[in-house]
Amino acid sequence: MVSVDPLSSLLSGIRAEGSVVTRAVLTRPWTIRFADAAPLTMICVLRGGGTLLLPDGTERAVGAGDTALVRGPEPFHLVDHPATVHGPHAAYEIACFTANTACAAQELGGIHWGADSEDATALIVGAYRASGHRHERLLRALPPLLVVEEDAEVCAWLETAAADAARQSAGSQALMDRLLDWALVCTLRSWFEQAGDDAPGWYRGLADPVLAPALRSFHDQPAQAWTVASLAARSGVSRALFAKRFTQLMGRPPLAYLTECRLDEAAALLIDTDLTIAQVARSVGYADAFGFSAAFKRHKGQSPSRYRAAAAPAVPGALRSG
């Protein structure tokens, strides 16, 4: 059996497929408005730099080697300098998911491929959108903006792949999609490691010698009838020690964590599949639909059937990145 850790499970809900990636080379003064309403946008700075301006007023400078992830869906800006927006400047917009909007690099008027001038800023931009709702658990674990500094390896690989994609050589689309997936995983792992105590509890738990075996066992087999005692046995410690350590590190008791994970997965299955409520219940570890429905209503505030009906019109199309 292949082990599935919590981060891998979360990342399964957001992938690049049919990506459209822009490599922008800009000469100051300039601004870029990101208007995709994408759940997640990646910006990798190859050379030069700028300042990210978020709707909540956050300003964050990024430079060469930095990789930024911005959580959507609100529009945001990247500018060469915060003062630029108040004076004459070249203004660009990237909105690859919007109908009738050009997003290919060569069509963005001034954002171009080719040799960089000394004062130019070169970027790789990829905006993810998701299929279904499983990605929402990942987004809840992230801040509105995270920056991994000097991640030169990610930027270098993406630049090579973007250049290949621009030549439209055989396999370039698949290469770009998979490298964007790889870049997202690398960036998130680096950020979680750097975040220390600010990282989500489940991530810190994976590095804990007591909790890690139990967490991996649960995420491998979430439908199994786990108890605190059986999880403690997987970790080789007493029930009392396991429960205390789990609550301290994860911020909630073991069974509360298991229930939350199961019902989050159930919510995704209700929206993203045509499984019956009874089938969803069994797949996440509930023996009967009645008990599952009661637990789901306590967690989500509405019954599984109402939740599915309310969300049905909003189910997006195929996962892509642009």
> Is the pLDDT reported for residue 111 higher than 60?
no
Is 80 among the domain residues? yes
Q: Report DSSP state, residue 12.
A: T
Domain boundary among 198, 225, 243: 198
Instruction: Write out pLDDT tens, residues 197-231.
Output: 777 777 788 888 999 999 888 888 888 999 999 99
Confidence of residue 184 (pLDDT cuts 50, 70, 90): confident
* Highest mean pLDDT out of 26-30, 140-144, 157-161, 233-237: 233-237
CATH classification of the domain holding 19: 2.60.120.280
Confidence (pLDDT) at 172 = 66
Confidence of residue 105 (pLDDT cuts 50, 70, 90): very low
In this structure, the answer to whether residues 189 and 212 fall within a common structural domain is: no
User: Contacts by 89-92 with C-beta closer than 8 Å and gap 24+?
Assistant: 89/29, 89/30, 89/31, 90/26, 90/27, 90/29, 90/30, 90/31, 91/30, 91/31, 91/33, 92/24, 92/26, 92/30, 92/31, 92/32, 92/33
* Highest mean pLDDT out of 21-25, 180-184, 276-280, 311-315: 276-280
Q: In a 3-state reduction of DSSP, which class is residue 66? A: coil
Is 321 among the domain residues? no
In this structure, the answer to whether residues 272 and 288 fall within a common structural domain is: yes
Is 32 among the domain residues? yes
In this structure, the answer to whether residues 151 and 220 fall within a common structural domain is: no
Confidence (pLDDT) at 36 = 77
Integer Rg of the chain from CA: 22
Confidence (pLDDT) at 242 = 95
The pTM assigned to this predicted structure is 0.72
Q: How far apart are CA 51 and CA 70, in angstroms?
A: 13
Is 172 among the domain residues? yes
In this structure, the answer to whether residues 225 and 191 fall within a common structural domain is: no
Q: In a 3-state reduction of DSSP, which class is residue 77? A: strand
Q: How far apart are CA 122 and CA 128, in angstroms?
A: 20
> How many structural domains does the chain have?
2
> Is the pLDDT reported for residue 259 higher than 80?
yes
Q: How far apart are CA 204 and CA 111, in angstroms?
A: 41
Looking at the DSSP bridge assignments, the partners of residue 123 are 24, 45
Q: If you average pLDDT over residues 136-164, what whole number do you get?
A: 73
Is 28 among the domain residues? yes
Number of other CB atoms surrounding residue 114 within 10 Å: 8
Beta pairing class for 320-321 and 49-53: unpaired
Print the domain residue range for 264. 203-314
Instruction: Write out pLDDT tens, residues 38-88.
Output: 888 888 888 889 999 999 999 999 998 899 999 888 899 999 989 888 887
Nearest to 284 by CA among 57, 9, 7, 46: 9
In this structure, the answer to whether residues 191 and 69 fall within a common structural domain is: yes
Domain boundary among 168, 198, 228: 198
Average pLDDT across the chain, whole number: 78
In this structure, the answer to whether residues 176 and 256 fall within a common structural domain is: no
In this structure, the answer to whether residues 212 and 292 fall within a common structural domain is: yes
Half-sphere exposure of 272 (CA within 13 A, CB side): 18
